[in-house]
Structures are given as C-alpha cells and as structure tokens.
Structure 1
Amino acid sequence: MNSEYSGAGDPAKSLELLWGLQSRPTRGPKPALTVDRVCAAAVRIADAEGLAALSMRRVAEELGVGAMTLYRYVPGKAELLDVMLDSVYGEFPRRPVDGDWRAKLEEVALENRELYLQHSWLLYVASSRPPLGPGLMAKYEYELEAVEGIGLSDVEMDAAVALVNGYVHGAVRSAVDAKQVIQSSGITDKDWWLAHEPLLEKIGDAQKFPLASRVGTAVGQEFDAAYDSEHGFAFGLARVLDGIEALLDGR
C-alpha cells in the first residue's frame, strides 16, 4: 500500500479547517453539509476500504451529493486528509493512570496501538509534517505529561515520546500487514505452515541450522504459529521502556 502524506496541501487552508477559522456566509441558504460531516464520511471510507479508495468523488457518493459540492467545504483531498488525521487523533482516550512514568508511558503505547487498530489507514500516512490541529495537540500534551518531571530535558521528553510512538507504529503495522495477508489469501498462518510442512522438513536441516531449528520449533510450539503479535508487542515495549529507565538510572 502506498503512503499518503499529511501537510501536502495548503497549510493555511488546513489550519483554517482544523481550528474552525474559515469565514462563514452571513446570507443565503443554510449549508447542506459541514466540514465535520465530510470528514466523518471520509474516515468511514478509509476505515472500511483503505486509503486507496478515498477520493473526493467517493466521499461525495457516500454523502449523496455531487463531487463539486464538497469543494465548498474542503479545498481538496490533501486538506481533507489533514482534517481526518486530526479527527481520529481527537479520539485518543487520554485515560488517567495511577502509577509512575513507566505505567503512564505504557498506557500511551497501548492507546496508540488501539487507535492504529481502529483506523489502520493511519499507518500508511507519512506525518513528518503533521496537521497541527486541536486533536493532535491534545494527544501530544497528554503523551508529554507521562514523562514530565522525571529527569529528562524538554528535547529528551519529546524524543522519549517519539521513541515509544515509533515502536508502536512499526509493531502494529507489521501485525496489520500480517492480518491483511490472511484476509487476501484466505489462508491462516497455521494452515500455510501446515501446507508447506513437507517442503520445510526437507530444507530444515537441524544439524546445519541448529539454532534456527531449535528456536523456530520452540516458538511454533508456544504460539501454534511462527509469530504472536501480542507477545511480540509486549516484549518489545518492555525493552523500549527498559532503555528509558536505564537512562534515568544512569543519572
């Protein structure tokens, strides 16, 4: 799946939409749509069909209006994508957590994972130029609160949050990609391995590849598959947090 890019449109137009700064007509008929309705329709399409299916025409069909009607509310697809991103960022639960920084950062990771699983198209939007809307700003504020006052500089606080979010992004994208393979092929991982077992037995030389054979067998027996995304996510997240803890302990 090809990536889309946030901030690819007119940033001034996007910011107007994100913060409700666009001018409204004082006369004439009441608008039939709103930016929020257009955005909600676009998110529904992306959730159900992926980003490849998203277009201004497709959104217009979802809303039962002509494609040109949408341009009264949103300048184009690029600006619409910025609004979509900020809209789903606004869904970020921001649950209060009792405990230390580690428990709070773990919750940040779990909430990001939850958001990606609900809106997997987010994984395919490059956001090095993020939409600076209210949803994103509230999410970032909440994430920074997890590491406020624990001994990191402001730059390190940002880096710690980025480290956790980057790990979550990569781990969840791998899990989503694996799920999509199952959906597109109609074959579970277990059935795929079983179907190829005779071939694997021929090339699986335990004497030539003793570690691969031993470890692969142990994983297969443990998870009844070559990989378990839940275990992998928890293990990796713990190691990321261990790294931050080692930095703090070193001070």
Structure 2
Amino acid sequence: MTTSDDAALPKSVELLWRLDQPGGRGPKRGLTLDQILEAAIEVADTEGYAALSMNRVAKQLGFTAMSLYRYVDSKNTLVELLLDRVIGEPPHIPPGTPWRAALEFWARSEFEVIGRHPWWLDIPLKAPPMGPNNMAWLEAGLATLADTPVPEPLRLQLVMNLSLYVIGRRWAARDIAEGAGGEEDFTAALQRVLDPQRFPAIVSALTNRAFEQDDIDWEKGDFEFGLARMLDGYETLIRSFER
C-alpha cells in the first residue's frame, strides 16, 4: 500500500529542493541547472515570457535542446523552477519589528522584486508555489504576525491576500503602462465622449484634474495607497482580537 509519504514528488519539486542531481549520469557535461535558469531569465528579460522555450534557452547557452533535457525534463518544469528563482529570497526583517511596519516592508519588497522581471506575472499559476524561495517569503510574512493574537488560519489568509494584492497591483500597473497612450490622451478622449449628466462624478474628477497630478507616481502611489488601506483594515481586525 502506498501512502502519501511514499508518493513520488513532482520533478520540479525534487529540483527546487535539490533532491535530485540533474545531468549526473553519463559523461561529464558543461552545464548546471543554475546556468540554465539564469539563461532562461536572460531570454525572458530581453524577449518576454512568450519567447521562452527549451530551444531558445539552449541557443542562449550554446547547447542543443537535448542537452537541457538531461537537467530539466520539460518546459513546464523549467517554468516552475523560474517561478521560484525569480522571486528570490525574502527581505530580512529585524526581530521585534512591529507587525504593521514588518508586513508593509514585506509587501513593498515583493512589489519591487516582481517589478524587476515583469514577465514573471505571465507564468500560469496552476498550483500553489512549492519552492524554497516562495516558502521563505511565506515564512517571513507569517512571522510578522507571530506576536499577534490572530489565529493561525487567519494569519495565513492575511498574508496570502496581501501577496495577491501585491501581484494584482503589479500586474495592473504593467499592463496599463504597456497599453496606455499617456494620461493626456486618456483624459482628452474621456472629456470628448463623457456625458456629464450620465457620468457627473467622472466629469468632475476630470475637471479637477484628478488624473493629472504631476507630483504622484501612479505606479507606486496607487500601490502604496491601497497597501495602507489594507493594513488599516488588518489593524482593525487585530485590535478586535485584543479586546
């Protein structure tokens, strides 16, 4: 009888946690898994996620695709490894940091890391990430709430929802930046088509130049405004457990 403990781990999990040594059989090869992942990141940084393939990564390295299959058995496995590789290790949060400051720093750090490799957002998330870096981020996030009276299941929800907010804001900022023609084009077009009787609030915002505040970095400004409001809500919730 096979138990869950006896079941074979997915290939990607074995590689992520270094339980398997790829390319270890046969003649000595001139590649490492780390080299393959770094080459894949170079390709995606330059050409986008859609350009990633075993053939393209092999070409980047000066090898054949068959050489890569000794280390990574499929593109799907490669992508799962990149999902963990790109996010890297979490920031160091000094012990004793108040939970709100710690969680805010954690969220800002995740926002910045994803921004360095925006194609990471295009990786399909078919299952919860299981790599050591993603686990380290989760550990760091949960640790910020360790001294609060919030029950364990709810702590997990708070951290996961905050991470989803970070990813969503980074995704929206990237796609809007890529597709927009600029704030002036946006506001000018709206002013021409909006009926003030039907859309009085939006017309008022346009009239008062709400979309044209030059002193606001919309990418970070929107993110930090929403982050602060989320943490306000977290603070209210945590206080409710302290009564």
When normalised by structure 1's length, the TM-score is 0.82
1:103 to partner: Cα distance:
0.6
Bigger relative CO (Cα 8 Å, ≥ 6 apart): 1
* Residue-by-residue CA offset, 1:183-216 (whole Å, 9 max, x unaligned): xxxx4x135237xx3x644434445533221123
- How far apart in 2 are the matches of 1:110 and 1:210? 35
- How far apart in 2 are the matches of 1:63 and 1:139? 30
How many equivalent pairs are there? 233
- How far apart in 2 are the matches of 1:134 and 1:82? 12
- Residue pair 1:123, 1:173 contacting (<8 A) in 2 also: yes
Letter in 1 for 2:139: E
Name the residue aligned to 2:146: 148
* Residue-by-residue CA offset, 1:115-139 (whole Å, 9 max, x unaligned): 1101212222243523422212212
Letter in 2 for 1:250: S
Of 202, 213, 221, which aligns to 1:222? Answer: 213
* Residue-by-residue CA offset, 1:82-104 (whole Å, 9 max, x unaligned): 11112123243334376411111
Structure 1, unaligned runs of 5 or more: 1-9
Letter in 2 for 1:222: Q
How does 1:168-179 map onto structure 2 within 5 Å?
168-179=166-177
- Residue pair 2:88, 2:133 contacting (<8 A) in 1 also: yes
1:212 matched to 2:202? The reply is: yes
Letter in 2 for 1:31: R
- How far apart in 1 are the matches of 2:192 and 2:26? 76
Name the residue aligned to 1:159: 157
* Residue-by-residue CA offset, 1:23-76 (whole Å, 9 max, x unaligned): 467775422101111111111112222211100001001001111111011101
Of 175, 179, 183, which aligns to 1:190? Answer: 183
Name the residue aligned to 2:240: 250
Sequence identity percentage:
38
Aligned CA RMSD, in angstroms, stands at 2.6
When normalised by structure 2's length, the TM-score is 0.85
- How far apart in 2 are the matches of 1:237 and 1:42? 32
- How far apart in 2 are the matches of 1:61 and 1:109? 36
Name the residue aligned to 1:62: 60
How does 1:1-251 map onto structure 2 within 5 Å?
11-23=9-21, 29-96=27-94, 99-127=97-125, 129-182=127-180, 187=181, 189-193=182-186, 197=188, 200-218=190-208, 219-223=210-214, 228-251=218-241
